[in-house]
Structure 1
């Protein structure tokens, strides 16, 4: 699809959801596919209160009030719902978008766009976290952002990964899972991360003992898995211009979310998963960075001071 066709498709979508009220019917249908259910007592009937910007539904039995965005990634957001719909639509397109592009497309600040992007990834991660590989399962190590140098030492941007996949009868890869690994226990970048925790956490227990483990080099190499590191590096580089280790796992989950689904119906799938995924706040997204900075400051304070010659 050309950029012009993609722009026309997005404009057509925006014409369907011009204001928040245009989103309410679809939001209601996906949130309660079998009709309203009280989040507290599961009663099937409610009064609709329209005095708020977003309608409230009051349970006729226990009188608990809930909104359409309660319990979703949109909960607590001041961004209009139709802007969320537009963001989800753009994330479901073949080329996806980064925060800067999203900011320009839906007319919000960069900080708001960055937060929306990470909340959508949170929904994708939540959905992918329930996946277990089954059947014939293959696991291989690979490297994100691999540098073509003969050195045994890790480059700063290189990150070790483990990738697993269920293999179909015809040899094609089914669902995949990619997990970031720590460099600390590895002797060098040709050492293989421990695959036991990966298999224990991400492979069906009935199939775990028969999982096939290969390396990213050598005669037993599975090229489809070993080269997955190049695929994810290219995708992240093209879309986001590279990602550091702090948030890398979220982007790996996003890559797997796309890979494991039919792209023709991805918008509805992603919208549904966002509606049924709990929100994550800005402090929760950034607290790990504060911890990392604090750890570095503590380590630096423990090191002997250097004298300038």
Structure 2
């Protein structure tokens, strides 16, 4: 804990000024230099009259914000707070929304939204990588409970775990995907792996995928134990996660496994800069119309109370 605190304080000192964050984000967004998103011109005028600079293309005159097209687009939170959040998510233990709120001094709602936007970047980044080479897939149970019935406990969640392994069976790249309970006859049934293979495995490796079960003589203990490590991590950091958002937390777990800790912040900053943001209505499943109706009801109740 002391070392983590010292590392966080050192990071905050490194990116204490917005100018430092602006420079780092610029290079993460445009590693080969500025490119206009409209005409791809490499030259721009810098308009520095705002908190964040605008870049006006010399060719088409289109103006581009530094955070446009990133997970930070539309955010009023200072960049240094975003950088601190990205750093904390890049740590092996990571951070939950309440801890983030206290550490970077933002409201819980803002912290919750930042966490999910960073997880969105993680999910998008790892979705670009297909499992290849020696691919092993096994079913498993997240939040496994010891019960005497054949039915899945309400907390138990079926998953498929796939990995690209070396010849010694060591995990190179991992994907864990939440599966529906509706397709399973009982807790010993296995989800159909074919959709997983079609979506997440390189076609050249699909025919040679090694499928195993979470029990029996052919059980791949390395894969099955990943479900226990995942469950432990979810419980330790987040006190458990319900099925609605479980997949993005699984993606975060896999992202941390798939990227070395020494370079994880640089990778996560790059991914945060190149993926579009996800909105609050999209995360909560509420449309803008629903939010407007709710505000209208609150307004009417306030007037009636007066």
TM-score range, shorter chain: over 0.9
Other structure's SS at 2:192 match:
coil
CA distance in 2, matches of 1:265, 1:192: 36
Pair 1:142 & 2:140 matched: yes
User: What's the counterpart of residue 83 of structure 1?
Assistant: 81
User: What's the counterpart of residue 165 of structure 1?
Assistant: 163
CA distance in 2, matches of 1:289, 1:153: 35
User: What's the counterpart of residue 209 of structure 2?
Assistant: 211
User: What's the counterpart of residue 190 of structure 1?
Assistant: 188
Deviation, structure 1 residue 6 = 1.1
- The CA deviation string for residues 31-82 of structure 1, in whole angstroms up to 9 with x for no partner, is 1111111110010110000111100000000001001111000000011111
Unaligned ranges ≥5, structure 2: 289-306
**Over aligned residues, Cα RMSD in angstroms?**
1.3
The alignment's TM-score, normalised by the length of structure 2, stands at 0.92
Deviation, structure 1 residue 136 = 1.3
Other structure's SS at 2:262 match:
helix
CA distance in 1, matches of 2:237, 2:16: 27
Pair 1:236 & 2:241 matched: no
Deviation, structure 1 residue 22 = 2.2
- Say if 1:289 and 1:68 are closer, same or farther in 2 by CA, change over 3 A: closer
Further displaced range: 163-172 or 100-109: 163-172
User: What's the counterpart of residue 129 of structure 1?
Assistant: 127
CA distance in 2, matches of 1:200, 1:289: 31
User: What's the counterpart of residue 21 of structure 2?
Assistant: 23
Count of aligned positions: 288
The alignment's TM-score, normalised by the length of structure 1, stands at 0.91
Contact 2:92 / 2:256 at 8 angstroms: preserved in 1? no
Find runs of 4+ consecutive structure 1 residues off by over 2 angstroms.
Answer: none
Pair 1:279 & 2:254 matched: no
Q: From 37, 56, 59, give the equivalent of 2:57.
A: 59
User: What's the counterpart of residue 265 of structure 2?
Assistant: 267
Further displaced range: 19-28 or 268-277: 19-28
CA distance in 1, matches of 2:167, 2:286: 42
CA distance in 2, matches of 1:158, 1:289: 30
CA distance in 2, matches of 1:69, 1:227: 40
Contact 2:72 / 2:277 at 8 angstroms: preserved in 1? yes
- Say if 1:270 and 1:48 are closer, same or farther in 2 by CA, change over 3 A: same
